[in-house]
Amino acid sequence: MSRLFWFAAGAAAGVFVVRKAGQVAHQATPAGIGENVGNGLRELASALGSFGAEVRAGMSEREHELQESVERQTGFTPGRYSTEPAPRRGTGARARRADG
Gap between the Cα atoms of 76 and 83, Å rounded: 14
Q: Is the pLDDT of residue 91 over 90?
A: no
Q: What is the pLDDT of residue 26?
A: 86
Q: What is the pLDDT of residue 43?
A: 96
Q: Sorting pLDDT into bands at 50, 70 and 90, what band is 51?
A: very high
Give DSSP secondary structure letters for 21-88. Answer: HHHHHHHTSHHHHHHHHHHHHHHHHHHHHHHHHHHHHHHHHHHHHHHHHHHHHHS--TTPPPSSPPPP
Q: Is the pLDDT of residue 77 over 90?
A: no
For the chain, give the mean pLDDT: 86
Q: Is the pLDDT of residue 52 over 60?
A: yes
Q: Lowest mean pLDDT: which of 19-28, 29-38, 82-91?
A: 82-91
With 0-12 CB in 10 A as exposed, 13-18 as middle and 19+ as buried, what is 32? middle
pLDDT over 70, % of the chain = 77
